A and B are shown apart, each in its own frame.
Chain A
Amino acid sequence: MAAPDNRPFAIRTYPPDRLREALKRMHLIRRFEEGAEDSYMRGLIHGTMHLSIGQEASAMATCMELTDSDKITSTHRGHGHCIAKGADVGRMFAEFFGKETGYCHGRGGSMHIADVKTGNLGANGIVGGGLPIAVGAALSARRLGRPDVTVCFFGDGANNEGAFHEALNMASVWKLPVVFVCENNGYGMSTSTARSTAVRQVADRAVAYAMPGVTVDGNDFSAVAEAVHIAIARARAGDGPSLVENVTYRWRGHSKSDRNRYRSKEEIEEWMTRDPIARFQAELIAHGVLDQAGADAILAAAIADVEAGIAFAKASPAPNVSEVTRYVYAEK
């Protein structure tokens, strides 16, 4: 009898090139957001944005088994989801810079970043807005006979919106192929889950909707990948929805106007020692998927992609102001 394979789930499940690609995309998420933050400080981007720095494993590990025809619904903190699902950072920067070449032709910006062609149905300015939409996407997959699953990202804060409860109930009653992925970073803006949420863990809500609910370390790539793998398998088999809760932390403020008065410096620093990217990289090196030189090359490639993306965005044309009402309705 063969010895059991004790390596982490991701290492024993995915081929090395996919794992290296995942690491690169995690770097890309972080460098993209740092680039966006920097561009914002320089006045190149207006409005506001919500950075997911510190949460990259949740986005990337969740998307490992998704194809372009699988769908995701994303949130206001959605840059990571978009990149993890396969978007091009140049077109993302172009959107942030308000350019016609952006994913939303400059109409949406950070809070509505989407890439419909890779199955990202969009970030959302409304907390909880994506939850019923994800259930609808799952309904259409089933009715149209497609094998797709839909992954619905949402934050801990969204679990107190009525839309969350209505969506989970319908998904369960109709046994739809949807996976609800809660990114629990401890706070909805300034309000901790302890102050906002009656249950201790968001996954505890699953019981009320008769679906499996599991809480994992959201900064542990393999833990997230395994939990989502099980949920996707269940969805594809026609057994219905699941709720996966990735416990993580956002290093930055909620948005650009956060004074961080509701949490301590110590708490932030403590979480920064659990960097999901460093952890994943160390795991890949430890299991021989990568050596240090390979890791450095991956980071360098991510940085180069971000620089090229910013250059593309800067050089892109702005929308024509006379086209303010374009895209309100279908074009004939």
Chain B
Amino acid sequence: MNAMHQDQALRTLSYAEAIREAMAIAMEADPTVILMGEDIGVYGGAFQVTLDLVDRFGPDRVMDTPISELGGAGVAVGAALTGLKPIYEFQFSDFAMLAMEQIVNQAAKLRYMLGGEASVPVVFRLPSGSGTGAAAQHSQSIEAWFGHVPGLKVLQPSTPEDAKGMLLAALADPDPVMIFEHKLLYKMKGHVPAGSYTTPIGKAAVRRTGSDLTIVAGSIMVHRALEAAERLAAEGIDAEVIDLRSIRPIDHETILASVRRTGRLMVVYEGVKAFGIGAEISAAVAESDAFDFLDAPILRLGAADAPVPYNPDLERASVPQVDSIEAAARRLARREV
């Protein structure tokens, strides 16, 4: 290994640091990039993602907005329509509900409604997921909702490297991109290449190859699935783990190719099980030739049919964990489903 490669291999950042680095690189390179959001300036963001960016780029480019999600997101849309590249941070993804109008009716549809004459290169960052004890209005996983909206791109990085690369890819993209960041991953460390690079939008990544079953997961569920897969390996069950990375566009080809080899599919996600990512992926398999390769019914593992509860034991029980993924994968491998 030469010196440069060694240096690269050792370069480790947290997921939050990787996102911050991407924003700094973009802001250095392009004066039209601005940050907007609640308490992203001197407070550094609710999860300390923007941290010191206001010191480096000033309050004119790192703008604290009033608590006005509909207006704030809409201002970002209008600015994107007319030459700026705003990155708008929702303090929690749950608050995107207050801005649905601007995201869904405006940002997603403007290019189409105006016959391709307009472009809305806005990026929305959304801290999401459960596991923090913040209960029903601060713990949701709503990424699948936006998968239903043509015009949006919806990403879900699981590693620091992808968190940086996806944000830079989103900024380079001429259309609105929503990036769901998992709160429990912010402190996770991992290798992050220096400098500017992009992670392709719409490409899944095979994180573990295996021959007995395919587990498709996103965000934090990738790590839980990988841990479950290691445990299963000890008993001779060889699971393949695919990191979905992008919900819209979705990389059907990587999933179908895997299912053709393993004959078993399980989809793991933190959103409520019903009407979720699992339904989309299962249907895609059922509609394709990969269906003929299935040796067992498809299995979906999602959140309980309830809001996220406060009590920590209930909260843990309400979303897939390593144990429940392991148990479900074992049942699938043994065809006990």
Chain B contact residues (Cβ within 8 angstroms of A): what range? 35 or more
B42 touches A161 (CB 8 A): no
A190 touches B43 (CB 8 A): yes
A-B pairs with CB below 8 Å: how many?
A: 128
**What CA separation (Å) do A157 and B68 show in the bound complex?**
9
A98 touches B311 (CB 8 A): yes
A324 touches B309 (CB 8 A): yes
Min CB–CB distance A126 → chain B (angstroms)? 6
Please give, as numbers and ranges, the residues of chain A lying within 8 Å of B317 by CB-CB distance.
321, 324
A126 touches B137 (CB 8 A): yes
Please give, as numbers and ranges, the residues of chain B lying within 8 Å of A98 by CB-CB distance.
310-314
Please give, as numbers and ranges, the residues of chain B lying within 8 Å of A107 by CB-CB distance.
135-136, 307, 309-311, 314
Task: Answer yes or no: A128 CB below 8 A from chain B CBs.
Answer: yes
Please give, as numbers and ranges, the residues of chain A lying within 8 Å of B135 by CB-CB distance.
47, 107-109, 111-112, 125
Please give, as numbers and ranges, the residues of chain A lying within 8 Å of B305 by CB-CB distance.
325, 328
A328 touches B39 (CB 8 A): no
**What CA separation (Å) do A111 and B69 show in the bound complex?**
20
Task: Answer yes or no: B238 CB below 8 A from chain A CBs.
Answer: no
Contacting B at CB under 8 A, from A107-153, are 107-109, 111-112, 124-129
Please give, as numbers and ranges, the residues of chain A lying within 8 Å of B94 by CB-CB distance.
125-126
**1/0 per position for A240-280, CB-CB distance to B under 8 A?**
00000000000000000111011000000000000000000
Task: Answer yes or no: B284 CB below 8 A from chain A CBs.
Answer: no
**1/0 per position for B1-43, CB-CB distance to A under 8 A?**
0000000000000000000000000000000000000110111
Min CB–CB distance A276 → chain B (angstroms)? 25
Task: Answer yes or no: A292 CB below 8 A from chain B CBs.
Answer: no
Q: Which of B67, B132, B311, B318 meets A318, CB within 8 Å? A: B311
Contacting B at CB under 8 A, from A76-128, are 95, 98-99, 104, 106-109, 111-112, 124-128
Please give, as numbers and ranges, the residues of chain B lying within 8 Å of A200 by CB-CB distance.
none
Q: Which residue of B lies closest to A158 (CB)?
A: B67
Q: Determine, out of A23-31, A56-64, A191-199, A211-219, the stretch whose residues face the partner at the interface.
A: A191-199
Please give, as numbers and ranges, the residues of chain B lying within 8 Å of A288 by CB-CB distance.
none
Please give, as numbers and ranges, the residues of chain B lying within 8 Å of A324 by CB-CB distance.
304, 306, 309, 314, 317-318
A188 touches B66 (CB 8 A): yes
Chain A contact residues (Cβ within 8 angstroms of B): what range? 35 or more
**What CA separation (Å) do A61 and B311 show in the bound complex?**
32
A328 touches B307 (CB 8 A): yes
Task: Answer yes or no: A67 CB below 8 A from chain B CBs.
Answer: no
B38 touches A106 (CB 8 A): no
B311 touches A106 (CB 8 A): yes
Please give, as numbers and ranges, the residues of chain A lying within 8 Å of B43 by CB-CB distance.
189-190, 258-259, 261-262
Task: Answer yes or no: A169 CB below 8 A from chain B CBs.
Answer: no
**What CA separation (Å) do A257 and B318 show in the bound complex?**
25
Q: Which residue of A lies closest to B303 (CB)?
A: A324
Min CB–CB distance B247 → chain A (angstroms)? 25
B42 touches A190 (CB 8 A): yes
Task: Answer yes or no: A69 CB below 8 A from chain B CBs.
Answer: no
Interface centre among B67, B68, B94 (most CB of A within 10 A): B67
Interface centre among B41, B68, B94 (most CB of A within 10 A): B68
Task: Answer yes or no: B172 CB below 8 A from chain A CBs.
Answer: no
Q: Which of A48, A125, A128, A325 meets B137, CB within 8 Å? A: A125
B67 touches A127 (CB 8 A): yes
A188 touches B67 (CB 8 A): yes
Please give, as numbers and ranges, the residues of chain A lying within 8 Å of B46 by CB-CB distance.
189, 257
**1/0 per position for A143-185, CB-CB distance to B under 8 A?**
0000000000000011011100000000000000000000000
Task: Answer yes or no: B71 CB below 8 A from chain A CBs.
Answer: yes
Q: Which of A112, A190, A319 meets B41, CB within 8 Å? A: A190
Chosen A-B contacts, 24 in total, with CB atoms closer than 8 Å, are A46-B133, A48-B134, A98-B310, A104-B310, A106-B309, A111-B135, A124-B137, A125-B134, A127-B67, A157-B66, A160-B71, A188-B67, A189-B38, A189-B43, A191-B38, A191-B39, A191-B66, A196-B66, A262-B42, A321-B314, A321-B317, A324-B306, A324-B317, A324-B318
Using CB atoms and an 8 Å cutoff, list the residues of chain A in contact with chain B.
46-48, 95, 98-99, 104, 106-109, 111-112, 124-129, 157-158, 160-162, 188-191, 195-197, 257-259, 261-262, 318-319, 321, 323-325, 328
Using CB atoms and an 8 Å cutoff, list the residues of chain B in contact with chain A.
38-39, 41-44, 46, 64, 66-71, 94-95, 98, 132-138, 304-307, 309-314, 317-318
Using A112-B137, A321-B314, A328-B305 as known contacts, list a sample of 15 further A-B pairs with CB atoms less than 8 Å apart, ordered by residue number in A: A47-B310, A98-B312, A99-B311, A107-B135, A107-B310, A111-B135, A128-B67, A160-B67, A188-B66, A189-B67, A321-B313, A323-B314, A324-B304, A325-B306, A328-B306
